A and B are shown apart, each in its own frame.
Chain A
């Protein structure tokens, strides 16, 4: 298949766009693979890609129950950042950031990664101190961060209500200039095409309905397209993790599934060229290249597997948006939707061997799994290929909860609906 390039776009433009080929095959499942990955979201696809590229393992299938990109990879608000406080998280997310910076070239697919920066606003002196502490921690670990004054903010984000009469007056902010957004679908399609070209079979409409077992060992999966055997089975199903693991006889995990909503407005002229988060509540907002404001807030806050949410969160997110950008009051909402999030008990992901022999588990991504996509695939592929954790994800083990090594950025405790 031809490389994508400006020349190809030009040539196909002149020849009626008839020269483009299908980006990935639609193969029939084989009976046996070296690795079967369950879940064709961002993490499953990235895992397959790095298994092939970093470890030379290409006899791999991805079983996806719907179409590619039907899960959270196609539902998120596309924010990419590495502005964490704690040691277990920062090196992992910063590695992800570095992979993002070269991803379009690496995949030969334009993922539209735009390093427009993310600004966290602060509204109380305590919040300012706390945020400065996080900024210092980032800089100590080699991540870019800078504090902003209200004057900086007035220049950087016109339209922001910086008046003293604002509901929660803005006292300053923290910017990570290298953060930004990417085109979420393109990330799925880019990894899919790149993995497919290296021999990975992407099996869409292939729902895993059970596990094949030999005693304690997992030896394959039963699917809606027949039984598939594999030496190694990697589970990457985000919000469906608890449900999937019950099929393997694991009844309990440190995870709850919750619905998160996202919103897009009608298209506007350029209005906001960075990502802004509100510290008086919970809101993150950016403007897409099509012109729509893309924004969201808290999860609905009760266990849910319904991919739609309820009205209290809609009202809260809208009022926060208007509190921050009064001009947005006149903007009409175009669409909203929900996705099911795998909320872990400490707000930090799980990448691990086991819990059964022959099985590998990747889950617990909470609000933040999109930005993690490259590093998650990188580290999970290593875990699968070498049967040991990657040093960047070594802190993300499943047993950390019972051993007392939780990584709780928010200091919130085991209340996943508040992370």
Chain B
């Protein structure tokens, strides 16, 4: 698998570390809503198909990126810096 880092260009999978599902929204740190925290920490859609996920280019520029990847084929359709709107 090759991930095209928006800063460094196409790089091997081995340079990246995985940080999981990027569709989850972290509750406000001050929130005491237990259900919201539980849902954020534990519940996953885990799709067989398109998945938006965080990776860090830890063996390169160290930026966090959001990758859109198909979990059945590993085909990557989009990579952008985390924080940039889709």
Report A's interface with B, CB cutoff 8 A: 240, 242-243, 251-257, 301-306, 310-312, 345, 401-402, 414-415, 417
Contact = CB atoms under 8 A, between A and B. Distances in A.
Interface string B52-86: 01010000000000000101111000000000000
A308 to B, nearest CB: 9
Contacts of A417: 18, 20
B32 interface: no
Interface in B3-38: 12-14, 18, 20-21, 34-35, 38
Interface of B: 1, 12-14, 18, 20-21, 34-35, 38-39, 41-48, 51, 53, 55, 69, 71-74
A417 B54 CA distance: 13
Contacts of B38: 401-402
A256 B46 contact: yes
A251 B45 contact: yes
Contacts of B73: 306
Given A401-B38, A402-B38, A415-B20, A304 B71 contact: yes
B46 A257 contact: yes
- The main secondary structure of chain B at its interface with chain A is mixed
A310 B42 contact: no
A81 B45 CA distance: 31
Given A257-B48, A417-B20, A304 B42 contact: no
Contacts of A306: 71-74
A304 B44 CA distance: 14
Contacts, number: 72
A253 B42 CA distance: 8
Given A252-B39, A414-B41, A302 B18 contact: yes
Given A310-B1, A417-B18, A303 B13 contact: no
B18 A305 contact: no
Given A256-B20, A303-B21, A303-B71, 6 more contacts: A240-B48, A303-B20, A303-B51, A312-B13, A345-B44, A415-B20
Nearest to B14: A312
B13 A253 contact: no
A402 B42 contact: yes
B18 to A, nearest CB: 5
B42 to A, nearest CB: 4
B61 to A, nearest CB: 19
Contacts of A310: 1, 13, 74
B71 A257 contact: yes
Contacts of A255: 44, 46
A356 B4 CA distance: 42
B75 to A, nearest CB: 10
A415 B18 CA distance: 10
Contacts of B34: 402
A345 B35 CA distance: 16
A305 B71 contact: yes
Given A302-B53, A310-B1, A417-B18, A253 B74 contact: no
A124 B72 CA distance: 39
Nearest to A255: B46
Contact of A252 (B20, B43, B53): B43
26 contacts: A242-B48, A243-B46, A251-B45, A252-B39, A252-B45, A253-B44, A253-B46, A254-B43, A256-B21, A256-B46, A257-B46, A301-B18, A302-B18, A303-B21, A304-B71, A305-B71, A306-B72, A306-B73, A310-B74, A311-B13, A312-B12, A401-B41, A401-B42, A402-B35, A414-B42, A417-B20
